[in-house]
Amino acid sequence: MKHIGNIDPLAPGRPNLSQAEREHLSRTKLQQQKEDGYQKLVELCLLGEYDAARHLANRNSRWGYQIVGGEVIERID
């Protein structure tokens, strides 16, 4: 974060992203969330917290995982 005295009020703001750049950024963010979610689910299963993992997977269905037999598997719709 810049000190208020170092900010130039006449400088241009953030550059506008193209539609393709926004889509790429969105896909990248979703993929990162999916990977982070997988790690959380695996950790819960390793701790024996299957119900908590199942609940987390159900709340975050966009990750695409489900808990079956204490293991994290990819959900097939």
Q: Helices 19-46 and 50-59, interaxial angle, to 10°?
A: 160
- Would you place residue 9 in the very low, low, confident or very high pLDDT band (cuts 50, 70, 90)? confident
Distance CA 50, CA 73 (A): 13
Which among 70, 73, 44 is positioned nearest to 56, based on CA atoms?
44
Residue with the larger pLDDT of the pair 14 and 75? 75
Q: Domain ranges in the chain?
A: 19-74
User: What are 48's two structure tokens?
Assistant: 């024996």
Distances (CA, A) of 54 to 15, 27, 31: 41, 25, 20
pLDDT band at 28 (very low <50, low <70, confident <90, very high): very high
pTM of the prediction?
0.73
| pLDDT tier at 44, thresholds 50, 70, 90 | very high
pLDDT at 77: 72
Mean pLDDT of 44-62: 96
Q: Phi first, then psi: what are they for 50, rounded to 5°?
A: -65, -40
